[in-house]
Structure 1
């Protein structure tokens, strides 16, 4: 989670109210944030560099606040204050709009007639850095450039050239360098050296010029010194270059929505035209609003509350999601502003309703069923069960940190066998079962996967115990009121499955559809889970019976 550091007194002034540390901590908790630390610049320097280095440092109290990684709109003082004020119903969420461009032509936007002071300027710079480290993925996906528009002339050209052909004076330097020289210069820079790898091995480097040939920036490394912004800047030209257009749009929206409140016409942004080589013309920023419709019943059931649709709409409005009941039953229309790029699914809206309602106000209850689908290693669901990964609809986890977190489990059998292996010294027989969810790929779902409730049971003993596991199936079906029969009931028939011993496996059918298998496990499966005795198992889909 990123941490936002804000001056306490400045924060309280913006909120229009003073709080004790305990009161503000409680407010953060209610809003889904965490007040991580109360400190000062002097304390930080003393802790990191010693008391001598801390002499003369500021005693101004700093609040360090942990913000969810997907809430880009809370990464600066302005967004944090705006979110809290709307949450406390002291302010309505602003409506953002754009005006037609008259000068610049770039992948960008303009904040026209802005007024900075020291705190606003520092917050503006810090937000860019927070975004670079967060959604921009350390500038690999998006690089932000900000320029004093009054020092440059449009239209602007975004192109690429050999590093030896690029020459300009970079930010805070006193002379010009070629791009090749800059890459050598910044190899020892504590900040910029971390970004050199993005382009240093490329034959061409990206570069942005104005109409007079002045270099604005060499993204994603450094801006030009000529167009640097200051406290006196009145018109800011913001450009975003990216490998991911969606991330670029979100980043641009975040910068302009957070600081357009300081423009002469608050919350209004001047648009910029982008002309592509093929002649296509696009206008940025998009500042797109969209509407989602969901039911009050959906939120009530998943949060565990019982509120009217009108009350839920009020809760969502407090979270900067302007909402109203549509008049069709308990359907709620939710407007998602450009500041809330984190809202991509109905579950995100439900989560905001829960935050506004207050987690401490939700009555504690025990779930009727266990519904967690655990992670597991790819080996657990393939090699150990004698399966081919290409034949399994497994959901893979990107960038797994350990082998145990490579995929989401597609079977409960592996977990039961690992449990038996850990308890194999216990008296025989060992009989275990689990009713829980697995996750399977499903292209028909909006998230590309679905949960599937399954029942799995194993019997481990000196003899295979096929009759025991078969008897369990009959008892389960009896309790589910499913009678034996081929059409309207259940039955089994001989089948082959690589996990089971040949000739000792059966496929289970219910109402004409296959719901799973039962049988004696293959000796290779037994040995791969470090077991030494026979084992029978049943693995069935129980969702049709719920």
Structure 2
């Protein structure tokens, strides 16, 4: 992800306040970015250099790639209301039993813990409507000006003596609070309700209010609460809506229990399930799953009830058709209509064959990182970067991760370097991808599966590496191949060869290299003993 450097003093001026490092780190975390470094505390910073904040931002947020955009976005984020969204509903004539009451409270707790993310996204308040007087007001007030008796308490308290959810809004300049028309505190969301309006088994009219930082989650949780328990109302499955008047004068009604309309192809459902059902038969199955639907030619019009926020796509409808039909009754056949068997990609199957044969030959597999430094990929291998092969990171976090490797050798050699305490000879291999630039593709780069091995011992071990090459190509049933001396600055002069497919003297294809590394390469990677390596492109065998 890109890292943006901004002048610390100027940035805090733009934000209108100063932050400690921890405070600013918390702000960045809340917004989905990351404070990578505060150079004010860096002892290596020159005295005449002003402190900087280095901030890591998502790659898809081009609006955060400059000082102005970053400051503007954080200012908007900070000055937004603490919990800007609210909804409400009323259940009248409810007749609670102990079991239904416990279930009602239990659902509220489970929604808080899961969908509401411990009340950070949505907070639910339930009240005995008969103890309150509407209309209700949703306000933001300074904490010291809010005093009330919290749930199950008889004494008035301030914010310092409230529940474990206080941390959600503790640092906000103002706290959200809901009042009735007589100034009674209904709740201090997302922390706690007032004791004045708590519900009991004797409650018959339930007022439900919800506040949120996420509108979608607000609507889902509001609908869940009222649809699950409207059956206990005097008139079953009847919900009394609440009119919300926004600060800008606009109005809306909650909850919105209108079903969502979706069209699904009959052919799609039959193809995925391996069936040949008519549109009418599918509608009958959907009725079993609580949908309202009707045929529309080759399509089916489906109305998704407010109890099913999980249904987002035609595949969800198809799954419910399969459930209604019976998974155990679905035909168990392999056909062009139903993809039911998975298998590895050919390149992965090939790589697994190579891994297995190397392991059985006594070689150890290693898995280095795909990123490396520019020097490790080029200069340390005595190779020149012509700018046409390596994919480079625009804003690398450290010098160790500057480019995507174009060879498996740097990773193998670093592994040998970091395992000097191991008994020699050390025989390791890797079968993995490199990345090369390719302007013919939309993404401007491509992966290439390669296989590489390295032998480090008191002798060069060239014949050992050559033997491994012969073994692998034998198991791949490659008959026509040969090696031929090449000039490559990575290898010791006269100790390097290209690996070719085809017959010598005829048209052939070079697929890799094998040889003894040049002493300069060994010195760069801090290796004291000779090393022989090979590297092949495996994709030519597909």
TM-score normalized with structure 1 length: 0.51
Deviations 1:338-377 (A, max 9, x none): 11001112222222222223232332655265589x9xxx
> Aligned equivalents of 2:513 and 2:167: distance in 1?
51
Residue 534 of structure 2 corresponds to which residue in structure 1?
534
Residue 267 of structure 1 corresponds to which residue in structure 2?
237
Structure 2 residue 146 is the aligned partner of structure 1 residue 166: yes
How many residue pairs get matched?
325
- What's the offset of the Cα at 1:202? 2.2
Q: What stretches of structure 1 of length at least 5 have no aligned partner?
A: 1-105, 184-191, 392-409, 434-441, 443-453, 473-503, 505-517
> Aligned equivalents of 2:451 and 2:102: distance in 1?
66
1:76-115 matched pairs, under 5 angstroms: 107-115=87-95
Structure 2 residue 221 is the aligned partner of structure 1 residue 251: yes
> Aligned equivalents of 2:538 and 2:118: distance in 1?
48
**Contact 2:451 2:538 survives alignment (8 Å):** no
Deviations 1:422-448 (A, max 9, x none): xxx9x9999999xxxxxxxx9xxxxxx
Change (3 A) 1:429 1:156: closer
Q: What stretches of structure 2 of length at least 5 have no aligned partner?
A: 1-85, 335-339, 349-367, 378-389, 396-403, 416-424, 434-441, 454-464, 477-497, 499-509, 526-530
1:81-160 matched pairs, under 5 angstroms: 107-160=87-140
> Aligned equivalents of 2:139 and 2:513: distance in 1?
62
Structure 2 residue 298 is the aligned partner of structure 1 residue 298: no
Deviations 1:297-356 (A, max 9, x none): 2223333444333333322222222233212x3x22221111100111222222222222
Counterpart pick for 2:169 among 199, 203, 215? 199
- What's the offset of the Cα at 1:388? 4.6
> Aligned equivalents of 1:114 and 1:521: distance in 2?
80
**Contact 1:310 1:325 survives alignment (8 Å):** yes
**Contact 1:253 1:287 survives alignment (8 Å):** yes
Counterpart pick for 2:321 among 349, 353, 356? 353
Instruction: Give the 3-state SS of the residue equivalent to 1:311 in structure 2.
Output: helix
Instruction: Give the 3-state SS of the residue equivalent to 1:226 in structure 2.
Output: helix
**Contact 2:136 2:178 survives alignment (8 Å):** yes
> Aligned equivalents of 2:253 and 2:449: distance in 1?
59
**Contact 1:521 1:537 survives alignment (8 Å):** no
> Aligned equivalents of 2:100 and 2:269: distance in 1?
38
**Contact 1:382 1:388 survives alignment (8 Å):** no
Q: Give the greater-gyration-radius structure (CA).
A: 2
Instruction: Give the 3-state SS of the residue equivalent to 1:258 in structure 2.
Output: helix
Change (3 A) 1:342 1:380: farther
Instruction: Give the 3-state SS of the residue equivalent to 2:231 in structure 1.
Output: helix
Residue 215 of structure 1 corresponds to which residue in structure 2?
185
- Calculate the aligned-residue CA RMSD, in Å: 4.6
Residue 304 of structure 2 corresponds to which residue in structure 1?
336
- What's the offset of the Cα at 1:458? 3.8
Instruction: Give the 3-state SS of the residue equivalent to 1:177 in structure 2.
Output: coil
1:1-150 matched pairs, under 5 angstroms: 107-150=87-130
1:276-315 matched pairs, under 5 angstroms: 276-315=246-285
Deviations 1:397-441 (A, max 9, x none): xxxxxxxxxxxxx99x99xx99xx9xxx9x9999999xxxxxxxx
- What's the offset of the Cα at 1:153? 1.0
Residue 351 of structure 2 corresponds to which residue in structure 1?
none
Structure 2 residue 199 is the aligned partner of structure 1 residue 225: no
> Aligned equivalents of 2:513 and 2:226: distance in 1?
61
Counterpart pick for 2:210 among 224, 237, 240? 240
Residue 341 of structure 2 corresponds to which residue in structure 1?
367
Instruction: Give the 3-state SS of the residue equivalent to 2:197 in structure 1.
Output: coil
Deviations 1:105-155 (A, max 9, x none): x73111122221211111111110111111111101000001111111111
Instruction: Give the 3-state SS of the residue equivalent to 1:332 in structure 2.
Output: strand
> Aligned equivalents of 1:519 and 1:314: distance in 2?
60
TM-score normalized with structure 2 length: 0.51
> Aligned equivalents of 2:222 and 2:303: distance in 1?
20
Residue 394 of structure 1 corresponds to which residue in structure 2?
none
Change (3 A) 1:155 1:432: closer
Structure with more contact order per residue of length (Cα contacts < 8 Å, sep ≥ 6)? 1
Instruction: Give the 3-state SS of the residue equivalent to 2:312 in structure 1.
Output: coil
- What's the offset of the Cα at 1:270? 0.9
> Aligned equivalents of 1:207 and 1:521: distance in 2?
72
> Aligned equivalents of 1:273 and 1:380: distance in 2?
57
Deviations 1:257-284 (A, max 9, x none): 1111111222121111111111111110
Instruction: Give the 3-state SS of the residue equivalent to 2:107 in structure 1.
Output: helix
